[in-house]
A and B are shown apart, each in its own frame.
Chain A
Amino acid sequence: MNRLYLWRVMRLILLFMIAGLLHVSAASKAQTITLKGTRLSFKEVIAAIQQQTDYEVYAFERLLKETTPVTIDAQELPLETFLAAILEGQPLEARVEDKTIVLSTKVAAPAERLSKADGLRSTLVLAYPEVRGLVVDSLGQPLEGASVRVLNAEGKRTTLQTTTDSDGYFLLRNVPEGAQLEITYVGHVKQTVVASVDVGNVVLKAASSELEEVEVMVNTGYQTLPKERATGSYFNLGEEDLKRTVSTSVIDRLANAVPGLIFNKSSQSDAYQSNISIRGQSTLFSKPDPLIVIDNFPYEGDLENINPADVESITVLKDAAAASIWGAKAANGVIVVTTKKGNTSTPMQVSFNSTITSGDKPDLRYDPRMSIADYISIERRLFNEGFYTAQESNLNKPVLSPVIESLIMRANGTITEDELNSKLKEFERVDLQREQEKYLYQRKMYQQYSLNLSGGAKHNSYYLSAGYDRNSESLVRNSYSRVTVKGSNSLSMLKGKLQLTTDVNYISSIQAANNSSTLLYMADYDKLYPYAKLMDESGRPATVFRDYRHPFILQLQEQEPNLLDWTYRPLEEIELRNNRRYNRDYRIGVNSKYQVIDGLSIQVLYQYGMNTINVENENSVDSYFVRNEINKLTKINADGSVVRPIPLGGILDQDNRETESHQFRSQINFNKHIYTDILLDAIAGADISEHHTLGTSVRLYGHNPERAGITMVDYVGSYQSFINPANQSLRIPFRDNVVELTDRFVSYYANMGLSYLNKYIVSLSGRIDKSNIFGVNANQKGVPLWSAGISWKLSDENFYNFSILPYAKIRTSFGYNGNVNKSLSAYTTASYSSMGPVTFLPFASIQNPPNPELRWEKVSVWNLGLDFATKGNRISGSIDVYKKKGIDLIGDASFPPSSGITNFRGNVANTKGNGFDILINTQNLKRQVSWNSIFMLSKAQDIVSAYLPLQTASSMRYIQSTLRNPVVGKPLHAVYSLPSAGLDPQTGDPLGYLDGTVSTDWTKIISNTKYEDLVYAGTTRPLYFGAIRNTISWKNISVSMNVSYRLAYFYRRNSIRYNNDYGLGTSHGDYTFRWQKPGDEKHTQVPSLPTVYNVNRDNLYVYGETLIRKGDHVRIEDIQAVWNVSETWLRKFSLSSLRLHFYANNIGVVWKKAKGNIDPDYSGIGQLPPVRNYSLGLSVNF
């Protein structure tokens, strides 16, 4: 890592450490105290407590100075009695909770203050016109917004209630005599106390995993509200859920943990296929990704940039009521990430986490290949049939494999038959896959470290963290390292009325990508012959044939000693490459909130972001890439002088992209009981944002890293090819480019929630988005979107007597989310290019024909949900059913080419989606051994409901793509195939249907098969999916396993395509199973070798129904084990907690519907399933 960054990181850490607090801690055993002494200092007393009990004592040092000496004679006095004794007359009070004692300044109790103001009123005891109290958490921190409800004689909630203010105080008027008060707060266990003039301090304990008490908070990115009061469909992942799995990117931790959210793993992908989809996909040619919001603002950088250790929670917004506050960006769902912040009045906590992950080498043999002997015998056959004759004579000297070169040598009589045979034998012994495993792959090793400090005094809180990741990838010479630094500071001013939070994030990562599949290409696109050797006998990188015929290259080098070495050695090449991607990301945010009056606050937020990505591909002068580029254009004059149009030196490619963003928001929050029973929770505001990207791409020739030197080249001149002197039109590759993109949004929004008795809740949300869509009139740039929802807590009704389900809440919502496609315009647009191919004149290309009807995409979502819990929370969960409609989606319409375009992209498509999400938590065992299960089941279906009518064109376009086949009435990701009639028993030819009869007229079959004749299997996206997670805990140890399943979907299996080379190019392992003699058709579907090449014969097989497979499968995703080291042990090392964590993922498929060893999620060409990883983690709190 760069020294400079390390220094920056350390400086930041130092800066934040200055505001430190004293942390007193020690270890002990008993719970009673024996102490005798006169005029003991308070510090000595504390020391005694800590020595003799296993309580820890926290206190501000300055407070201890104010104490008076203590004289005491205690003999095995219980702790509480002892504390009362020593605190007598001191300006301190103690709060005891969870093995900690916090000493703080004695707060004047409300009653005390009251009596000072009006001594008379405190004597009123019969009815309590005013009941006061203070609600604090176990650390003594006041709780703002806790609900205080008056219960009636039956213990049911009455309409009389209030919430605590920012200092934790509450005041209730007209409380009946002897009434009970129920005090609740999110994430805390409720307390019931008897009403009195001064209730005093009510301490609410933090809740454990009890559902009723844990009020989940959902953060929409605009506001945080209790899930109780939400009408939409939210899913919240807390810190514990996120800590369960191990990954570099935080988003990966959502996999198989959120109902309705699925990771798409297909290798067939393009810009319109998202890796993550939430409740299916409702777009065809616009941005398909969910919106990622980090700390209130959308984040557009790499998701790898967020250190999972800094994340406190993630909320997934699924339906319209949840997501429509994000308007035109919400159509694909919203993922809101909230990072950690410090807490006020908390001693400094330091925690350190470290995880080491090691992964297996991938199994290259997963993708079956034809045997090397078969490969060589096909090469021989092709050679004998003259297949290579044209290539042999080609003046560009395209590369031929070693076997072919040997055969040519034999044909020319340069070697004897015996020599040939021994050469071929030699080749058969080499196995490239084995060589790859040995030299190009390694066990991967990921290291993750993070350190964070947090805490706060009364008026401020802070959180600061530093993280370091270092990943060494499965591919040798590829790596990733990341440094993250975060500092967050909150200040409370003007008696708590003004809250100011600043947040600074800095991320720097370096990715090295020197090892890639192109390393083993022949002529830039063909797979390397399977008998290539990477290392020779003497342990030096071996030469493989790459671009030109090898003997020719050797001959040239002999003739022209001035040429640079023209041979290629992949192992040497990886060492000579230096391809790095630097990603630097700064985010600086300010959030200020001013409490104008009770319940009304105004808020201004601003975030500045700067993301810089520099890709530097440095190719040394010794690399083959550079040697080849130089040699290609070299000219050697008659007098022997050498002219090199590309100068001797390295080639440095740089791609720089800098995105600067400003995001500003002003918002008004209102949260108050507008009437005794009605709580209004409303926000309104405006967002304005700009993302401005400047990009440059430059190639520098003659690069000398020692001197930082470069050399000028002539891009305009044309040069003679050294390989083929007839070709005089070669140019020095020019790849410089400039890009400037601006993304601007102005949005206005409002959201209102009205809750009556906390039982009936209505929500309304509206938003207008405007953006700089090019060529569209200002009044068409915007789109209004809205949503509405209601929820009803059925179980609070008096008539509700369903004792099995003591908690039941029904909610429903409807609304619209939007999606914007900025690549389109209402006018004819053209894009400018600075240099044309022949004349070097600048020119313009027409991008899209005019589209005056261009509109934003809209998705309507209707959601119906039920939240429930059985008695004692043994079974709890939620069921959501939804329907979606994609309206005015951007789609492609086929146009007759004579119009000038073949495709027109406009608002031509509609989709219909439906599905459900079921989440069930069960507590199966609740004894010494506890056993909990989480069950998730989702259905997501997207059907095209409107598109242009089918063209008469060949059905091939529906068969070839599994990405998107928009046909009305069929799923978005449908897979079709050609009907097949097996193999001809005599010839092994694939049989298809031509006008209903079995035929081998492949060309006619392909051209006559209409869309209606195709076999429709289903969708390539799982219709049903989910996961089951079981956790078993015993004492401090817990073990869990996550099993995921994906059902009702299809994939097309790869197989051999013979082409005109008997399948040499694809060299798929199915070659072995091909039809070879009559009778084989009974146990194989692989056609025989073709006698005459026919592309449609291959198509009939490759796109035939026999290769469609069901993808249904169940997979063990991961296993996790956690051991929280017991406190008695920790004492010895003065630690407050120590957690050891074992995690293994990608365990494997345990059941699948289709036979064979193909993992349905990794069925693409060349796709390998992810390797199994094992992690060991340690997390310590001081």
Chain B
Amino acid sequence: MKKLVFVFLSITQLTLISCDKNFLEKKSDQKMLVPNTLEDFKLILDNNGIMNKTAAFNVISSDNFVITDAGFQVLSQIERSAYLWEMENSVFGTSTDWNSAYQQVFYANVVLDGLNKIVRDESNKMQYDELKGEALFYRSYAFFTLLQVYAAPYDPESADQIKGIPIKLESDVNVKAKLENLKDCYEQVATDLITAEQLLPRVQQISTRPSATAALALLGRLCLVTQNFIDGEKYTLKVLNEYAELLDYNSLDTSAARPFPSVHPIGTGNVEILFYSPFHNLSFLSISNREVTIVTELYDQYETEDLRKYLFFMERGEGVINFKGSYSGSRQATMFSGLTTAEAYLTAAECLARNNKPELAMEYLNRLLESRYVTGEFHPIQTGDSEGALAIILEERRKELLARGTRWTDLRRLNQEGLFNTIIKRTVSGEEYILDVKQSRYFYPFPESEGLN
């Protein structure tokens, strides 16, 4: 009898023990994966829903668009606060702009830390470098955007004494982000972008993936902020040497509701796009929101021969002029943000003008504008005066880069320089609100959950 029990035990129990090991290795959810291969990292960086999103509140706070009282009534609390520059309001405490930018940083860090554990060799170096470059770019794009929204405007004199933003360079969530000064923050972004530029393919076929030219274009933007116009000129001219495509606005249908070609795929899509990263969804930035109109004084600056007047706007009568010129094209519902060649032209022109090369500056500007005007109707602008050139370029910059998120950065840096002090006024329900040039009013508070205020 004892033998029988023993046999029974051995058979049933031992089989369980022996199969134990492999038996419990089975994934509980087949869709779960532990990212540790290059292919996994690619999947993580290709998460457009997270990696390709740009902070949007600053568009509401800028001076290009106003909303009617009726439209204001239906805005969310956070959009209202952004519109009225209530920078002290706690609604920004749960800001998606902040959280999602740091989520991009986290994803990028997961990939960068993961790549460190993989040996780069002959067989994988192409993909390895590209992924490393992409991760560095995404992280820099997020940091740069955060700096424009949550940090004080850049002052070259005191940048190393001004509070920047928390800089997080490792994926371990338990490591606290370091709050760096403004100077160090911008240096971190610049260094990473320079590295990324070396690693990335010159041009990408997919507009949501960053390329070397996109990295250079972002460096150009950064140089405007840090008032490093020498490097700014260098980077943007390099972009345009490699890829200078412009969209001929004459080829577009001005009567179309969504006149611009789609962002994707590159080639058949919009040739000007270097990097696509649309805004977060906000009702203020919805193409269907009729209550948001362009400010009249800006609209009046577009000449009759300027095709942008027809491709960017639709007149609905009664003085209602809505913006329709998003580069997101007809296929994407959210408004375009990201980097384009057109912006590189304008940045190059500005840097050239500031570096005292007005003629060359105007040459780049004219090349851009030529594609914007009715064929044969454009008369190139000539000037030998740097300051005059700068004024023209900045006016064209505002007219060209509408609803891209760049205007806020421009207002900050130009007011800070004291060159063009812009005071923004708007009226809601009969009450007037004013945003003066004070730097402290030009950035939003960190979320309270950060514990850094």
B46 touches A773 (CB 8 A): no
Which of these, A396, A838, A894, contacts B52 with CB under 8 Å? A838
B106 touches A829 (CB 8 A): no
B90 surroundings in chain A (CB, below 8 A): 954, 1003, 1006-1007
A841 surroundings in chain B (CB, below 8 A): 46, 48, 206
Q: How far is the CA of A739 from the CA of B289 in the complex (A)?
A: 39
Classify chain B: how many residues form its interface, as a range.
Answer: 35 or more
A829 surroundings in chain B (CB, below 8 A): 32-35
A839 touches B171 (CB 8 A): no
What is the distance, in angstroms, from B96's C-beta to the closest C-beta of chain A? Answer: 10
Q: How far is the CA of A898 from the CA of B168 in the complex (A)?
A: 7
Assuming the contacts A773-B28, A954-B90, asked whether A390 and B330 have C-beta atoms less than 8 A apart, the reply is no
A728 interface residue (CB < 8 Å to B): yes
B276 touches A830 (CB 8 A): no
Q: How far is the CA of A945 from the CA of B304 in the complex (A)?
A: 72
A741 touches B30 (CB 8 A): yes
A704 interface residue (CB < 8 Å to B): no
Q: Give B1-36 interface residues, CB cut-off 8 Å to A.
A: 1, 4-5, 8-9, 12-13, 16, 19-21, 23-35
B288 touches A724 (CB 8 A): yes
Q: Give A876-926 interface residues, CB cut-off 8 Å to B.
A: 894-902, 904
Q: Give A823-873 interface residues, CB cut-off 8 Å to B.
A: 825, 827-833, 836-839, 841-847, 849-850
Number of A-B contacts (CB under 8 A): 258
A898 touches B177 (CB 8 A): yes
- Among A390, A739, A847: residue with most chain B CB under 10 A: A390
Assuming the contacts A772-B24, A952-B451, asked whether A726 and B105 have C-beta atoms less than 8 A apart, the reply is no
Assuming the contacts A394-B289, A844-B40, asked whether A901 and B173 have C-beta atoms less than 8 A apart, the reply is yes
Q: Give A589-636 interface residues, CB cut-off 8 Å to B.
A: 596-597, 600, 602, 604
Q: How far is the CA of A775 from the CA of B24 in the complex (A)?
A: 11
Q: Give A416-443 interface residues, CB cut-off 8 Å to B.
A: none
A391 surroundings in chain B (CB, below 8 A): 74
B129 interface residue (CB < 8 Å to A): no
B263 interface residue (CB < 8 Å to A): yes
Q: Give B175-208 interface residues, CB cut-off 8 Å to A.
A: 175-177, 206-208
B107 touches A954 (CB 8 A): no
Q: How far is the CA of A750 from the CA of B50 in the complex (A)?
A: 50
B176 surroundings in chain A (CB, below 8 A): 896, 899
A560 surroundings in chain B (CB, below 8 A): none
A390 touches B290 (CB 8 A): yes
B69 surroundings in chain A (CB, below 8 A): 386
A827 touches B28 (CB 8 A): no
- Among A602, A740, A830, A832: residue with most chain B CB under 10 A: A830
B98 surroundings in chain A (CB, below 8 A): 897
B8 surroundings in chain A (CB, below 8 A): 602, 666, 668
A1129 interface residue (CB < 8 Å to B): no
Q: How far is the CA of A1003 from the CA of B43 in the complex (A)?
A: 43
B105 touches A900 (CB 8 A): yes
In the complex, which residue of chain A has the Cβ closest to the Cβ of B21? A778
What is the distance, in angstroms, from B142's C-beta to the closest C-beta of chain A? Answer: 10
B73 surroundings in chain A (CB, below 8 A): 386-387, 390, 1060, 1093
A394 surroundings in chain B (CB, below 8 A): 288-290
Which of these, B32, B174, B207, contacts A825 with CB under 8 Å? B32
Which of these, B26, B27, B288, contacts A396 with CB under 8 Å? B288
B382 interface residue (CB < 8 Å to A): no
Q: How far is the CA of A850 from the CA of B200 in the complex (A)?
A: 29
What is the distance, in angstroms, from A475's C-beta to the closest C-beta of chain B? Answer: 34
Query: Contact mask B44-66 → A, CB, 8 Å, 1/0?
Result: 10111110100000000000000
- Among A725, A774, A775: residue with most chain B CB under 10 A: A774
Assuming the contacts A602-B5, A846-B44, A952-B451, asked whether A744 and B34 have C-beta atoms less than 8 A apart, the reply is no
Q: How far is the CA of A844 from the CA of B48 in the complex (A)?
A: 10
B331 touches A718 (CB 8 A): yes
A727 surroundings in chain B (CB, below 8 A): 257-258, 287-288, 333
A720 surroundings in chain B (CB, below 8 A): 330
Q: How far is the CA of A394 from the CA of B73 in the complex (A)?
A: 14
Query: Contact mask A383-427 → B, CB, 8 Å, 1/0?
Result: 000110111011110000000000000000000000000000000
B231 interface residue (CB < 8 Å to A): no
What is the distance, in angstroms, from B404's C-beta to the closest C-beta of chain A? Answer: 18
B221 interface residue (CB < 8 Å to A): no
What is the distance, in angstroms, from B30's C-beta to the closest C-beta of chain A? Answer: 4
Which of these, A387, A846, A1007, contacts B107 with CB under 8 Å? A846
Q: How far is the CA of A847 from the CA of B106 in the complex (A)?
A: 12
The stretch of B236-244, B387-395, B442-450 in contact with A is B442-450
Which of these, A597, A832, A849, contacts B1 with CB under 8 Å? A597
B110 interface residue (CB < 8 Å to A): yes
- Among B26, B165, B276: residue with most chain A CB under 10 A: B26
B44 touches A726 (CB 8 A): no
B450 touches A896 (CB 8 A): yes
Which of these, B43, B46, B50, B173, contacts A895 with CB under 8 Å? B173
In the complex, which residue of chain A has the Cβ closest to the Cβ of B90? A1007
In the complex, which residue of chain A has the Cβ closest to the Cβ of B43? A844
A726 touches B257 (CB 8 A): yes
Q: How far is the CA of A837 from the CA of B70 in the complex (A)?
A: 32
B5 surroundings in chain A (CB, below 8 A): 596, 600, 602, 668
Which of these, A393, A746, A900, contacts B171 with CB under 8 Å? A900
Which of these, A666, A724, A825, A896, contacts B451 with CB under 8 Å? A896
Which of these, A746, A845, A904, A1095, contacts B20 with CB under 8 Å? A746
B291 interface residue (CB < 8 Å to A): yes
Q: How far is the CA of A726 from the CA of B32 in the complex (A)?
A: 39
A828 touches B29 (CB 8 A): no
Q: How far is the CA of A515 from the CA of B287 in the complex (A)?
A: 36
B257 touches A725 (CB 8 A): yes
A729 touches B450 (CB 8 A): no
Q: Give B71-90 interface residues, CB cut-off 8 Å to A.
A: 71, 73-74, 77, 89-90
- Among B31, B50, B103, B176: residue with most chain A CB under 10 A: B31
B358 surroundings in chain A (CB, below 8 A): none
What is the distance, in angstroms, from A784's C-beta to the closest C-beta of chain B? Answer: 15
In the complex, which residue of chain A has the Cβ closest to the Cβ of B330? A728
What is the distance, in angstroms, from A856's C-beta to the closest C-beta of chain B? Answer: 14
A363 surroundings in chain B (CB, below 8 A): none
Assuming the contacts A741-B29, A894-B449, A899-B106, asked whether A832 and B46 have C-beta atoms less than 8 A apart, the reply is no
B383 interface residue (CB < 8 Å to A): no
A158 interface residue (CB < 8 Å to B): no
Q: How far is the CA of A668 from the CA of B10 in the complex (A)?
A: 12
Query: Contact mask A1130-1150 → B, CB, 8 Å, 1/0?
Result: 000000000000000000000
A556 interface residue (CB < 8 Å to B): no
Which of these, B27, B44, B103, B206, contacts A774 with CB under 8 Å? B27
A900 touches B103 (CB 8 A): yes
What is the distance, in angstroms, from A833's C-beta to the closest C-beta of chain B? Answer: 8
Assuming the contacts A774-B29, A828-B110, A900-B107, asked whether A843 and B35 have C-beta atoms less than 8 A apart, the reply is no
Q: Give A731-754 interface residues, CB cut-off 8 Å to B.
A: 739-744, 746, 748
Q: How far is the CA of A718 from the CA of B263 in the complex (A)?
A: 13
Q: How far is the CA of A775 from the CA of B27 in the complex (A)?
A: 8
A954 touches B27 (CB 8 A): no
A282 interface residue (CB < 8 Å to B): no
Query: Contact mask B424-453 → A, CB, 8 Å, 1/0?
Result: 000000000000000000000001111110
A1060 surroundings in chain B (CB, below 8 A): 73-74
Of the A-B pairs whose beta carbons lie under 8 Å apart in the complex, a sample of 13, sorted by A's number, is A390-B291, A668-B5, A668-B9, A739-B31, A746-B16, A772-B24, A829-B35, A830-B34, A839-B207, A899-B176, A900-B171, A901-B173, A953-B448
The 10 closest A-B pairs by CB, nearest first: A900-B106, A728-B330, A726-B257, A666-B12, A740-B30, A844-B43, A389-B70, A898-B166, A898-B177, A1007-B90
- Identify 15 new A-B residue pairs, CB closer than 8 A, beyond the known A600-B1, A726-B258, A781-B24: A600-B5, A688-B23, A728-B258, A746-B23, A748-B13, A772-B26, A774-B29, A778-B20, A831-B29, A846-B35, A846-B106, A896-B177, A900-B107, A953-B93, A1095-B77
